[in-house]
């Protein structure tokens, strides 16, 4: 038996390869500081776990769930958007429950595009966006995210030919991997761009709760006319340390939401109702846990930047997400530098070229270890003599 051509065309799982390298080093007994992951290191808050335990004991939740999610969670998503962003969402027609937003991001091209259609992807960007390209049998153009433009795409640089071809555009702010953020003016510009060129917008809001320096990340749904042209996907993985629970949702344009719900009718039977009910508690209960988590990431960011500058590594502090996007030293490629750090300093980072052509020259560092381990990271890197410490 051979794998189908579709499976053979899928991109190599970038993060799986990274995990293999780290696990091999750990198997040798090395003390690896793993900054290459995007996996929250803190536990899910106790009140959410308790809600799951109580819901799991209810025999009604042991049956097949409703195909399109439990009403309680759809309503909680709508209430969350009203409370956090003052955006009105219809829980019946403008919410799709997802088994993690990765599913939504990968299935969306299959739901609304036809083979051969084009979509626009950010570069650097989340590697699994490309899985949706292959599985949807569609084509794509990239939009470079450059430091000089605050890691925002410049729509003026998109060629007329590409504008005419493209039917779907992906955005992600706060951004993985760059840590860049978007303001309301940019999202309003995006709506105008979408309406002018008949584009669907999908905003990946995975890090929506993680903004720094007192600036709350903006939801795409807050832009006037956003629901006319697109949707936003929100995961509970980062906001509430629920990565392993695999639960999220999409909100926005009712027709796009219906397309997602319809394809999921044929692929899934929704999520375990107890998980959905616990997710509803997470969204509607006190948000103090989310505020405390954001503060933890900000303290870690500040330590990372301070220690990097201490050893002479000139970096830009991320404005959001739990990632930092750090330039590699002169004379190194992203992959060479990442390999050197693992081999010589037992530090794992994600090479920037794994996120696209325009990721070359950077490495992505996760703020997912303690402040002491971040300090130890810079001590180890300093010993390699790659940077000139400030005098």
Domain of residue 363, CATH code: 3.90.1150.10
Distances (CA, A) of 346 to 22, 29, 342: 9, 11, 4
Q: Choose the final residue of a domain: 248, 264, 284.
A: 284
* Bond before 124 cis per omega within 30 degrees: yes
Q: Would 253 be classed as within a structural domain?
A: yes
Q: Would 129 be classed as within a structural domain?
A: yes
Q: Choose the final residue of a domain: 251, 284, 317.
A: 284
Q: Would 110 be classed as within a structural domain?
A: yes
Kindly state whether residues 232 and 307 are assigned to the same domain. no
Pairwise CA distance, residues 225 & 12, whole Å: 37
Kindly state whether residues 296 and 280 are assigned to the same domain. no
Q: Would 265 be classed as within a structural domain?
A: yes
Kindly state whether residues 359 and 210 are assigned to the same domain. no
Kindly state whether residues 143 and 97 are assigned to the same domain. yes
Kindly state whether residues 342 and 217 are assigned to the same domain. no
Kindly state whether residues 91 and 39 are assigned to the same domain. no
* Residue position matching structure tokens 């953020």: 181
Q: Would 389 be classed as within a structural domain?
A: no
Give yes or no for a contact between 381 and 347, defined as CB atoms under 8 angstroms apart: yes
Kindly state whether residues 114 and 222 are assigned to the same domain. yes
Q: Would 391 be classed as within a structural domain?
A: no
- The CATH number that applies at residue 164 is 3.40.640.10
- Per-residue pLDDT, 391: 35
Kindly state whether residues 241 and 278 are assigned to the same domain. yes
Q: pTM of whole model > 0.85? A: yes
Q: Choose the final residue of a domain: 240, 264, 284.
A: 284
Q: Would 388 be classed as within a structural domain?
A: no
Domain encompassing residue 294: 5-44+288-383
Give yes or no for a contact between 366 and 323, defined as CB atoms under 8 angstroms apart: yes
Kindly state whether residues 184 and 278 are assigned to the same domain. yes
Three-state SS for the chain is: CCCCHHHHHCCCCHHHHHHHHHHHHHHCCCCCEECCCCCCCCCCCHHHHHHHHHHHCCHHHHCCCCCCCCHHHHHHHHHHHHHHHCCCCCCCCCEEEECCHHHHHHHHHHHHCCCCCEEEEEECCCCCHHHHHHHCCCEEEEEECCHHHCCCCCHHHCCHHHHHHEEEEEECCCCCCCCCCCCHHHHHHHHHHHHHHCCEEEEECCCCCCECCCCCCCCHHHCCCHHHHEEEEEEHHHHCCCHHHCCEEEEECHHHHHHHHHHHHHHCCCCCHHHHHHHHHHHHCCCHHHHHHHHHHHHHHHHHHHHHHHCCCCCCCCCECCEEEEECCCCCCHHHHHHHHHHHHCEECEEHHHHCHHHCCEEEEECCCCHHHHHHHHHHHHHCCCCCCCC
How many domains does the chain fold into?
A: 2
Kindly state whether residues 255 and 326 are assigned to the same domain. no
Q: How many CB atoms lie within 10 A of CB 73?
A: 28
Q: How many Cα neighbours within 13 Å face the side chain of 206?
A: 30
Per-residue pLDDT of the chain (391 residues; tens, 9 = 90+): 999 999 999 988 777 888 898 999 999 999 999 999 899 999 999 999 999 999 999 999 999 999 999 999 999 999 999 999 999 999 999 999 999 999 999 999 999 999 999 999 999 999 999 999 999 999 999 999 999 999 999 999 999 999 999 999 999 999 999 999 999 999 999 999 999 999 999 999 999 999 999 999 999 999 999 999 999 999 999 999 999 999 999 999 999 999 999 999 999 999 999 999 999 999 999 999 999 999 999 999 999 999 999 999 999 999 999 999 999 999 999 999 999 999 999 999 999 999 999 999 999 999 999 999 999 999 999 999 999 765 3
Pairwise CA distance, residues 15 & 195, whole Å: 35
Q: Would 390 be classed as within a structural domain?
A: no
Kindly state whether residues 58 and 139 are assigned to the same domain. yes
Kindly state whether residues 36 and 174 are assigned to the same domain. no
């Amino acid at each position: 038996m051979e794998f189908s051509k579709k499976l053979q065309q899928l991109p190599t799982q970038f993060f799986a390869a990274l995990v293999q390298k780290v696990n091999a080093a750990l198997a040798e007994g090395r003390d690896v500081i793993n900054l290459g992951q995007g996996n929250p290191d803190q536990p899910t808050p106790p009140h959410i776990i308790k809600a799951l335990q109580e819901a799991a004991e209810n025999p009604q939740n042991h049956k097949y769930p409703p195909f399109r999610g439990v009403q309680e969670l759809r309503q909680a998503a709508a209430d969350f958007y009203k409370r956090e962003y003052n955006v009105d969402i219809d829980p019946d027609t403008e919410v799709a429950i997802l088994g993690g937003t990765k599913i939504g991001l990968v299935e969306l091209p299959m739901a609304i595009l036809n083979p051969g259609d084009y979509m626009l992807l950010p570069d650097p960007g989340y590697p699994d966006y490309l899985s949706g390209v292959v599985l949807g049998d569609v084509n794509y153009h990239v939009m470079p995210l450059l430091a000089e433009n605050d890691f925002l795409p410049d729509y003026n640089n998109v060629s007329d030919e590409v504008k005419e071809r493209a039917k779907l555009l992906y955005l992600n702010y706060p951004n993985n991997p760059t840590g860049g953020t978007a303001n309301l003016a940019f999202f309003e510009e995006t709506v105008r761009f979408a309406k002018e060129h008949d584009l669907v917008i999908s905003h990946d809001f995975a890090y929506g709760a993680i903004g720094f320096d007192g600036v709350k990340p903006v939801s795409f749904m807050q832009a006037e006319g956003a629901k006319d042209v697109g949707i936003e996907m929100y995961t509970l993985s980062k906001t509430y340390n629920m990565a392993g629970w695999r639960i999220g949702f999409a909100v926005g344009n009712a027709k796009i939401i219906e397309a997602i719900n319809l394809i999921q009718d044929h692929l899934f039977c929704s999520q375990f109702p107890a998980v959905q009910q616990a997710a509803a508690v997470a969204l509607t209960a006190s948000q103090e846990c989310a505020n405390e988590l954001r503060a933890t990431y900000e303290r870690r960011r500040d330590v990372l930047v301070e220690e990097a500058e201490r050893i002479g590594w000139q970096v830009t502090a991320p404005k959001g997400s739990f990632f930092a996007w750090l330039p590699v030293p002169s004379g190194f490629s992203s992959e060479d530098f990442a390999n050197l750090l693992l081999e010589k300093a037992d530090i794992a980072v994600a090479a920037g070229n794994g996120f696209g052509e325009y990721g070359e020259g950077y490495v992505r560092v996760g703020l997912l270890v303690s402040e002491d381990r971040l300090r130890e990271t810079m001590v180890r890197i300093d010993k390699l003599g790659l940077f000139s410490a400030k005098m």
